[in-house]
Structure 1
Amino acid sequence: MTSLTAPWTPGFLTLSKFCKRPDFSHFQWYLQHIEDFRKDQLSHLGEVVYLDYAGAALFSRAQLAAAQELLLTSSLGNPHSSRASEELLDRSRDLVLHMFRTTRATHSVVFTSGATQSLELLGEHYPWTVNGGCFLYADESHTSVLGLRQFARRSNWAFGTFALEDLPNLANDLSAAKMIEGQVPESIAGCNLLAFPGESNFSGLRTDLSCLSALRQGPQRWRLLLDAAKLACSPGSLDLSQCPADFTVISFYKIFGYPTGLGALLLRHDAAPCLFPRDVHGPSGPSGPLYFAGGCVSSVSATSSFVVPRPSLSQWMERGTPHFQGIFTLSVQLATVRRLGTDLARSRHALAVCHEAFLRTARLRHSNGQRLCRIFGAHEEIRWAELQGPTLALELHYADSSPVPYGLVAERAAARKIMLRTGCHCNAGACQRYLDLKDEDIRHFHASGKVCGDDRGLIEGRSTGIVRVSFGLYSTMEDVSRWIELLVEFQDLLPTEPKILAENLAATNHLTNPTVSAWPRTSMGRVRAVKIYPVKGCGPLRVNRWPLDPSGSLFLDRRWCLSLGTRRSKLRPVSAKQAPRLTTVRISLRGRGRSFVLLLSSKFHPETLEIALSEEDSKILQANGVAADPLDTTRNGARMHEEKPADASNADASIWFEQLLDLKDLQLRCSSDGTAGTGEAPARTDFANAPKTLLMVSTASLRRFGELCGLEVPAERFRANVEVDFEEPYEEMSWPVGLALGLTDEPHVAPGRLHFEVAGRCVRCQAVDIDPEDPERSSGVSLLAALATSQVSSESSKGPTFGVLLRKRGHWQERPMLEVGMSLEAEA
């Protein structure tokens, strides 16, 4: 290693402070010139600290320039049309095989859109129906691997899971496998399938691949599926000459950063017979393909069932035209990054940065001696460089050892322009393993409103995911320092009072000397309005008091959605963005005997529409003391909608909305499970993006936003369920995810009668620009644009936010009431 007295760049000076440490050896792998290269070639990063190489690699200007130079100086067309392109495509296959130290003598390359499509193709072609079999997958497998069990289930195969460290034992002893369905059958040569990651995308833990030959030759004669999407990110780590996996899947954007939408399925030739085209509904032998496309058949007749697949497995499985422009650039991508160092040097550089991050993270403690972070993986092993990839997965803990919700860490990271990953990373098995979550816990979390990809990091005090930072070729020691600065923010915090929240509450509520151990319940504001949106996209039903569902949403909220399509075509939801006149629909509640009716009207329609609530719904309103003015049965020009099952439609309602919106083939449909929530687009089982939540906006924030942008900002634009009067604007913007709140009908009653927690912020879209009074008028001024450029805009790439989503916490009485005048309180 060059002397540390050299004039290093500022980022490298960070590591020189630790040159006398006994654990300094990993620094000899650090490529100092990466810092200068990054400043020159990755200027598009700006001030962003990129710590998500497990999600995607970064690309440099040099890589893009090389790709552009190749494409702009060549006349390369579709390989199905151009002999030159076809030859270059074949050379690209050889390049990929050479990257992973093998040749056409033993392997074939099938280009795909990525590792996920590679797995899907394998699942579609694998002989699941041949005499039955067994499919086992490692517990620390990506969701895309778990998806293969659907093929196994359909074909009545046995399937189950195993711990990654037990992989070598499966050659002769299957007792370590945990069967989910069925039992392991007697040996069926060449059929049983075993899947595992080369490197966990969750923890970075690497699999011992030395046992693969024994697995292939053991009694079960396993066919081996290697998910190398993460392992292949470390140059030289995937050596197929020494790794006898039958099927290997990779994604090139994880290796080079560019191009996206390109991956490969690498096949051993002796496993190719497993994927020979066959009709699974016919005899056991080959009888023709299930599906074929352009470029993958040798001969086909349009006037009979005659079709012959191409003999080359690559050509047969690559349906249609491949991503040939991206494939052609792989050679220059590889050449560009190799100019920065050999495969081994580049791989070790990422490991060096990651190991330094581990060492400095592991040293952080609270003042009471408790560790700040619980770190997963093999970082502390003597052979850490062989056992561990450049990924640091961890769970943060408060000073009392309780977990910090990962959503809060993500928010603090975004504020510091640090890009990292939180959650389970599409690896449910790893989450269950490291966080000690059972199947019943996962089911309970989902019933409580937890869904994959959200920022709800805690449920009943238990972590639902972790924080992951990962490193790559362009990572530097300065990135490590910025990461440590973020972690230091959490030192000596307790869950009842994050510093930023305590400071905000003190300023807002005039608290004196707030302390961590005794944070009082504090009245924040009062409920000013309660609104239900029975029909998605239409105006609200304004009420003074209204029952809540046991799930935590308002009764009848987003119960109906207008859909476009016929019984023969796929139904598509109609939103206010597509049909602005929906926002002009006014909804009121009327009584008719012992039943209730929703009355819909619009200034753009001469008639009214009645939606008669079911007997069950009417009984719920009656039991909760909801009153309504009687329906005027003498009026003329009304259409009637009788509620029907979720898969049925009503002609009168359809006609009414078709006339209002000037659209054809409309259906008013009821949610399939009766749940509700907030959001701008329907989910699969209900009509909300964030089911089982309430959307709250602050009247003070609305006023301040109007002052900032110089525009009128009516509350109707933000379609909230609850409007609360606050004294200070934007108080809610500092609330961390998981903050406990209470709603009570008397101020300062402890505990609050209705318990909620902050579930996140509401990301806004163009719907806020629609004026319900005149939806077709264009003022030329966009509230969304003003929101995005104001001080309340979000750091999230998903868009600006306004309003807070509240989710039920704990257990309630069956149907509590939400009322205007209730006090909103912070709870310890």
Structure 2
Amino acid sequence: MELQDILSFEGFQEIWGLYGYDNDLPEMIEKEFSRIKGITYLDHAGTTLFPESQIKAFYQDLTRNVYGNPHSHNLSSRMTHDTVEHVRYRVLEHFNTSPEQHTVIFTSGCTAALRLVADSFPWRSVRNREPGSHFCYLTDNHTSVVGMRGVSSQLGVTCLPVVPHEVEARARLSPQATSTDESLTHHLFCYPAQSNFSGRKYPLSYVRGIQMGLLYPACERPGQWLVLLDATALVGCSGLDLRECPADFIPVSFYKMFGFPTGLGALLVRNEAAALLRKGYFGGGTAAAYLAGEGDYFVPKSSVSSRFEDGTISFLDIISLHHGFEALHRLTGGMVRIQQHTFGLARYTYVMLSSLLHSNGRPVAQIYCDNEFQDPASQGAVLNFNVLDRYGTVVGYSQVDKLASLFNIHMRTGCFCNTGACQSFLGISNQEVKDNLEAGHVCGDDIDLVDGRPTGSVRISFGYMSTFEDCQKFLTFIVNCFTDKPFRVDEERLARLKLAVSVEDSVGPVSFSVSNEHLGHETDHREKDHFLISSTCGEEIVVQTPKRPEEENKTQTLTNIFIYPIKSCAAFEVKEWSVGSLGLLYDRMWMVVNEKGVCLSQKRENMLCQIQPQISLASNALHVRAPGMNSITVPLGNWKERASSRRTCQSKVCGDRVQTVDCGDEAAAWFSEFLGKPCRLIKQNQEFIRNMKKASKNGGDCPAAALSLVNEAQYLLINTASVDMLHERIASRLDDSSVPQAITTQQLTARFRANLLVSGTEPFEEDEWSCLTIGNTKFRVAGRCGRCQMIGIDQETGATTQEPLKSLSDCRQAKVTFGIYLLHESMANSGAVTTLAVGTPVYPEKSKPDDC
């Protein structure tokens, strides 16, 4: 049986029979979401996608009507006011409540809504042994909820993190309700309607239980308990009935529901609770009356929304919500249908992924969930997991993400701003969180493993426009890239999870063959004889061969020198070249930016690789050529004199703000014509100094080094022996569909866009170098170069392939690195002109940096 037989729509129907809506789903996708053709978008928990008809309807609305500032009283302003009020009612209607029960306060998002509650809640601090307020929250809460303790704790409020099972244990006891004295103390309990980490849905019945004092911790704290239900992760794919679940505060972000607009959310407040909120600051539109000269005289407006919506609301964004609701119901029929459709996709993916095994019977993934995706009432359309290799070792989420990009699969990795759930599922202790920070890991970075243990995971999530084909492409990606072949399916588990198949009919694990043959044998991570074995796909790979003592001092040779005058454009190869204070002279001194000043790279504009810059020192000019274009010349010298007549601008490179000079309209027109979009050529201002921030791989900070427009360091070096080994690996996989044609060694070398190539004796020996000398010039190693999908771009044609990133992932453990960064330390103190020349001997050292 082939992979396509396992991942069939018939198999999906056995697992979950509900799919799509009343319309033709493929036709709807083609009409409304044509922009995602070729993309497998699986980050709907991050933001869902908007349909084209929603934006067109909003555009037509804006072109037909005049909307004025709602604080004025002219006709256009009244139009705005009335339309906004209609949208408020539409929001309440969507959540099955009314203006008599709840009020909509528009905010800039869910986080702003949470901050509003934290700042306005009637907290009471402990005084004279009188009990104070308690702020309780589930540890499985988004960062923005936990962040409310930053306000409450400063006011002397007791903050209590609550582990989910503590609430569940109390819910089973059915205790007697305690009396509440509303005049004394108010407490707040916060929990998510759906975990943004695992997709678990917490019972909405908790709301009444906590309010009535029937659940932990309300039953143990006298006073009035109010509930904040964070609904943001829930409402994208599920309905919420506030008549059945009368929470006091419900924050939402609308881009989770409609995809547009971003930067708009709301706080739904139960009117009884709204009367308790206290406010200090007041902005325009919130005052019924105040005296500028009398500091304590202020009377707020009577309506709750007017009291808390400081300044002019984002009224055009609010008006767009009307078109969001219209499109959502027109295309899907409502939230019940959306929940059935998206849960079915998530359930099918869970069942298949949890049943996949390596050839040795070990699971392919560790899934983080509290159920088996049996009921959409307890599980959302979210699947969180880590990939495991054949030995049961976690494959870092950054590596999974990089490989997914080769297949145009968009998902999210990390801890998803939910440290509590991440710690709980991954078994990360509080001390380990602190230790990971000391090791350099911060939330949102790509440090996925510390001491071999995962710091985060992979999350995929579905939206109403997701399809069965999205599931197929994702699962095919997992099988092709991470399973040891031939992969197996746990038939017993699959049969148990399929409601239509009985356990007695299962036949146990069975093997299936796929397009690429099983090449390897049983291997492990131990050193064997003279080589180290490593694998993520069951193939034996010699990663590092220890040198014999007589080889330790063997020298290498500098074989090639490349400069890249224009960032992300083609290389310019030279035999001999001067070393400047920023690296090789004129290397990455120019870059192409779009009309907003954002740097263009090959990741978004593949055709940049066909732009061929050449430096002519004799004519003091940069000559630029491209297929089908006349060449253009940009002067090198006298830039300081020309700068006064040129437009200076600010741009960013790897988060650093850099000062640049525009190269003029002629160059802008040339690049715009070739790339087919407005863009400009800019050069780094010679008077601007940008210093390197990267820490040394050996610990401690690197010495101050000035940079051009490079990403990380002054130089990038690769070893020809490493290239040769990787080339052999790719050649051995030519039967794989991911390798459509052979890649020559020269083409492979070009993809890594190095400045310096050396003829090493062993593959990847450069990873152990701490410094090196080329001729008489000394360099310090600043770290290894982490690779991304950009190396999949053919530097001759601009075509994108899965190689060499896929084979590199197989060759390397945990991190996809290739090449090392170098710094030239002595330029600032030397007045001599230093040059590098092909054929010069290279002397690497493994000594500590202080010995270089």
Question: TM-score, length-normalised on structure 2?
Answer: 0.60
Q: Does 1:225 align with 2:217?
A: no
Q: Secondary structure at the match of 1:422?
A: strand
Query: 1:388: Cα distance to partner?
Result: 0.3
Q: Secondary structure at the match of 1:64?
A: helix
Q: Does 1:152 align with 2:184?
A: no
Counterpart of 2:542?
A: 519
Percent identity, aligned pairs only, is 29
Distance in 1, Cα, partners of 2:137 & 2:450: 28
Change (3 A) 1:792 1:38: closer
Distance in 1, Cα, partners of 2:283 & 2:114: 19
Counterpart of 1:162?
A: 162
Counterpart of 1:491?
A: 483
Distance in 2, Cα, partners of 1:24 & 1:470: 18
Q: Is the 8 A contact 2:251 2:267 kept in 1?
A: yes
Q: Does 1:760 align with 2:783?
A: no
Work out which of the residue numbers 321, 329, 336 in structure 2 matches 1:330.
Answer: 321
Counterpart of 1:725?
A: 757
Counterpart of 2:433?
A: 442
Query: 1:251: Cα distance to partner?
Result: 0.5
Query: 1:222: Cα distance to partner?
Result: 2.2
Counterpart of 1:743?
A: 769
Query: 1:394: Cα distance to partner?
Result: 0.8
Q: Does 1:262 align with 2:264?
A: yes
Counterpart of 2:340?
A: 348
Distance in 2, Cα, partners of 1:312 & 1:89: 14
Change (3 A) 1:450 1:109: same
Change (3 A) 1:114 1:105: same
Work out which of the residue numbers 383, 389, 406 in structure 2 matches 1:392.
Answer: 383
Counterpart of 1:651?
A: none
- The superposition leaves residues 165-200 of structure 1 with CA deviations (integer Å, 9 ceiling, x where unpaired) of 43355689999xxxxxxxxx9998552211111001
Change (3 A) 1:387 1:84: same
Q: Is the 8 A contact 1:741 1:756 kept in 2?
A: no
The correspondence of residues 115-264 of structure 1 with structure 2, limited to 5 A, is 115-131=110-126, 132-168=132-168, 191-218=186-213, 219=219, 220=221, 221-236=224-239, 238-264=240-266
Query: 1:80: Cα distance to partner?
Result: 1.3
Q: Is the 8 A contact 2:359 2:485 kept in 1?
A: no
Distance in 2, Cα, partners of 1:678 & 1:61: 51
In the alignment, residue 336 of structure 2 is paired with which amino acid?
L
Counterpart of 1:402?
A: 393
Query: 1:465: Cα distance to partner?
Result: 0.8
In the alignment, residue 492 of structure 1 is paired with which amino acid?
D
Q: Is the 8 A contact 1:424 1:466 kept in 2?
A: yes
Query: 1:366: Cα distance to partner?
Result: 0.3
Query: 1:201: Cα distance to partner?
Result: 0.7
Distance in 2, Cα, partners of 1:326 & 1:102: 22
Work out which of the residue numbers 796, 816, 821 in structure 1 matches 2:843.
Answer: 821
Q: Does 1:17 align with 2:10?
A: yes
Q: Secondary structure at the match of 2:275?
A: helix
Q: Is the 8 A contact 1:198 1:207 kept in 2?
A: yes
Change (3 A) 1:261 1:725: same
In the alignment, residue 80 of structure 1 is paired with which amino acid?
H
Change (3 A) 1:88 1:757: same
Counterpart of 1:619?
A: none
Q: Secondary structure at the match of 1:434?
A: helix
Query: 1:345: Cα distance to partner?
Result: 1.1
Counterpart of 1:547?
A: none
Distance in 2, Cα, partners of 1:299 & 1:426: 41
Query: 1:343: Cα distance to partner?
Result: 2.3
Which deviates the most, 308-317 or 166-175? 166-175
Q: Secondary structure at the match of 1:821?
A: strand
Work out which of the residue numbers 85, 110, 118 in structure 1 matches 2:80.
Answer: 85
Work out which of the residue numbers 60, 68, 92 in structure 1 matches 2:59.
Answer: 68
Distance in 2, Cα, partners of 1:378 & 1:26: 23
Query: 1:758: Cα distance to partner?
Result: 5.4
Query: 1:540: Cα distance to partner?
Result: 5.4
Counterpart of 1:427?
A: 418
Query: 1:162: Cα distance to partner?
Result: 1.6
Change (3 A) 1:493 1:163: farther
Counterpart of 1:285?
A: none
Distance in 2, Cα, partners of 1:329 & 1:699: 55
Distance in 2, Cα, partners of 1:681 & 1:763: 27
Q: Is the 8 A contact 1:50 1:479 kept in 2?
A: yes
Q: Is the 8 A contact 1:196 1:226 kept in 2?
A: yes
Counterpart of 1:296?
A: 286
Distance in 2, Cα, partners of 1:759 & 1:166: 46
What is the number of residues matched between the two proteins? 595
- The superposition leaves residues 474-508 of structure 1 with CA deviations (integer Å, 9 ceiling, x where unpaired) of 011000100011101200189xxxx99x99xxxxx
Q: Secondary structure at the match of 1:386?
A: coil
Q: Which runs of 5+ in 1 are unaligned?
A: 1-10, 176-184, 278-288, 504-510, 530-537, 543-571, 582-658, 683-687, 748-753, 765-784, 796-801, 808-818
Q: Secondary structure at the match of 1:374?
A: strand
Query: 1:519: Cα distance to partner?
Result: 2.3
Distance in 1, Cα, partners of 2:385 & 2:533: 36
Query: 1:416: Cα distance to partner?
Result: 0.3
Q: Is the 8 A contact 1:527 1:724 kept in 2?
A: no
Counterpart of 2:502?
A: none
In the alignment, residue 155 of structure 1 is paired with which amino acid?
L
Counterpart of 2:659?
A: 578
Counterpart of 1:604?
A: none
Counterpart of 2:359?
A: 367
Q: Secondary structure at the match of 1:244?
A: coil
Q: Which runs of 5+ in 2 are unaligned?
A: 127-131, 214-218, 487-515, 521-531, 548-554, 561-579, 585-651, 663-684, 724-742, 774-779, 804-815, 822-840, 848-852
Counterpart of 1:617?
A: none
Q: Does 1:276 align with 2:278?
A: yes
- The superposition leaves residues 12-70 of structure 1 with CA deviations (integer Å, 9 ceiling, x where unpaired) of 99744327x7x444336676722220012111112111111101111111111122222
Query: 1:152: Cα distance to partner?
Result: 2.1
Query: 1:698: Cα distance to partner?
Result: 3.9
Q: Secondary structure at the match of 1:222?
A: strand
Distance in 2, Cα, partners of 1:337 & 1:756: 51
Q: Is the 8 A contact 1:694 1:806 kept in 2?
A: no
Aligned alpha-carbon RMSD (Å): 5.3
Q: Secondary structure at the match of 2:356?
A: coil
Query: 1:743: Cα distance to partner?
Result: 2.6
Query: 1:724: Cα distance to partner?
Result: 5.7
- The superposition leaves residues 232-270 of structure 1 with CA deviations (integer Å, 9 ceiling, x where unpaired) of 11242x111111211110010000111111110010111
Query: 1:452: Cα distance to partner?
Result: 1.1
Query: 1:453: Cα distance to partner?
Result: 1.1
Change (3 A) 1:308 1:197: same
Counterpart of 1:751?
A: none
Q: Secondary structure at the match of 1:388?
A: coil
